[in-house]
Amino acid sequence: DNMCATPCSGSSQQLCGGNNVIDVYSTGMEWKTDAIGNYYLGCFEESQSNRMFSNSRSLSKNTPELCSTICYKLGYTYSGVTYIEGCFCGNQPPAESLFPKVEDKQCNTKCAGDTNQYCGGGWRMGVFSTGLYDFSIEGRYLGCFVMQENILSNFKFELIDTNSPSKCSTLCNNAGYQFSGVIGINCLCGRQIPGRDQRVGDTDCDTPCIGDSSNTCGGEDRIQIYDLMKVIDHSGTSNSHESNNFVETFDSLNVESRWTHDIYIPQEPDYEFVFYNNSEQNIHVKNGELFIKPTIQSDSFVRRGCLTLKGCTKEEGSTECSRNASSFNILPPIVSAKLNTKNNFLFQYGKLEVEAKLPIGDWIVSEIALISKSNEKNKLILATSFGNTNLKCNGEDESAAVLKYGLKIDETYHVDSKMIKLSSQRNRWSDDYHTFEFSRSPDNIVFRIDGESNQLDTSDLPMNLIFDSEFYLSIGVSVGGMLNFRDDCLSNGHLKPWKNFDTKVMLNFWKDKNYWSTTWDNELSILRIKKIKFTSSDSIN
């Protein structure tokens, strides 16, 4: 310490390092997990005779980020850290019937690689999703080829226990390569493939994959190759957007050739109190349904955390991709999810049907909409609703019993948006599934709710400007924000806790957590999508 003897420029009574030496301090920040995204699933209890994940290693520099990165590169969907140096990998989420979820504070053992982070505890494991998913290889197989030294030589993964065509394709796609190839335990990625003269019969690729015995992973000196950027036509007709009829029943979440995750922190003008991510906690498919569920962050993360979103879909380095909490400028306290079809399916004329059940919970906002590709401020809203069970704004009912749909129009056109309010006298829109339908022809647009039609009067609208482009489908759940709720709104007689555009708007919402969080339900505060059907047509039936 006597080497650090230089008086500080801001206070001569304190010392700030010395010649080629610095004073080092701990900031006291808790569990910094932002570097691996919002993939923390929780702290779970296990025992010596009942281990959660079988693949394990001891890391002298263990942190949640390092462990998750290793598991990802080994082809695992989940990672877990426990007791200082323990890093575990697995492909099944922890079943709470076998591994009870406990309070986060029980995972309080400091990591070997960073004492400011926590790595589980005594028979307690901090569990993360690595972000790895199975890439759909349907229609992407190019064939079985003779293995040569320079084939797909750009990047290589050794998936000792997990290799399969879909797992390998995920890793190669995420690494930015067009082609993937599997041979035994090896996963190869590259931008060029061998010539046709090197292709052999598919029967030569007969080695069962170690990670999926129902598929093969090459053969002796033979490699199976897949094209990850091939455009797949699911309609069986044309690859053009206009003729791409489809029915989506969510047997899986097809994020390769149909859906794209929105990953960003909302900014002006809406400033919702969420950030959108692709965490399995917030968006997944189960029993033929799509689930989108907002979840609440910890107070330490919200007030003192750092957030950097992996795979951010906005401008890299902007505040939409990365933020640090500071003073009253807290981080968004809610994580949610949003999907779109911008890169894979565009709507112009025809009929779109969405069968869905809307979420409940104070200040939750669900939206199913078609968004103009040329001007994203122009929206065709099939359904939007607030989750509050009893909400009065300026004396009007705005509760979960009220559905809104219609046109939201960019203010620069100087025309009013046309939104219809449909009130349910007996039930909330969250009580059951409903069918939301939109039809458009060159001359007309029609909305239908559960088969009952409502035609909007658009005679006073500049339709040629508003609808000068194709539209993509967007489905998501947000919370709060500056534009959704008036300042005089009362939820069960409780005044909305924030003032729109106040400097501490998000902090005031967060301070009221003890009130609004009690209205959220683990099963009911979820947007559920059962079916989406699109039929291309130039006429409206």
Residue 18 CA, distance from chain mean position: 47
Tens-place pLDDT, residues 264-301: 999 988 899 999 999 889 999 999 999 999 999 999 99
pLDDT confidence of residue 410: 77
The residues pairing with 186 across neighbouring beta strands, listed in sequence order, are 158, 183
Residue 475, CA atoms < 13 Å, CB-side half-sphere: 26
pLDDT confidence of residue 453: 86
**Angle (CA) 402 438 405, round 5°:** 25
pLDDT confidence of residue 272: 96
CA-closest candidate to residue 488, choices 496, 479, 500, 477: 496
Do residues 235 and 248 touch, judged by C-beta distance below 8 A?
A: no
pLDDT confidence of residue 29: 41
| DSSP class per residue in 256-297 | TTT-EE--B---TTT--SEEE---TTTEEEETTEEEE--EEP
The DSSP 8-state label assigned to residue 209 in this structure reads P
pLDDT confidence of residue 34: 40
**Is the pTM here over 0.75, yes or no?**
no
Tens-place pLDDT, residues 400-449: 999 999 998 877 666 677 888 998 867 899 999 999 999 988 778 899 99
Q: Locate 325 and state its tokens.
A: 């909490």
Residue 225, CA atoms < 13 Å, CB-side half-sphere: 30
Whether the bond between 332 and the residue before it is cis, its omega within 30 degrees of 0, is no
pLDDT confidence of residue 464: 66
Q: Which residues of the chain have pLDDT under 70?
A: 26-38, 231-244, 256, 412-415, 425, 462-468, 538-541
End-to-end CA distance of the chain: 82
pLDDT confidence of residue 365: 98
| Residue 373, burial from CB neighbour count under 10 angstroms (0-12, 13-18, 19+) | middle
Where do the H-state alpha helices sit in 428-536?
A: 463-466, 505-511, 513-516
Do residues 169 and 196 touch, judged by C-beta distance below 8 A?
A: no
Q: Locate 244 and state its tokens.
A: 């791409």
pLDDT confidence of residue 386: 98
- Written in H, E and C, the secondary structure of 385-438 is EECCCCEEECCEECCCCEEEEEEECCHHHCCCCEEEEEECCCCCCCCCCEEEEE
pLDDT confidence of residue 290: 96
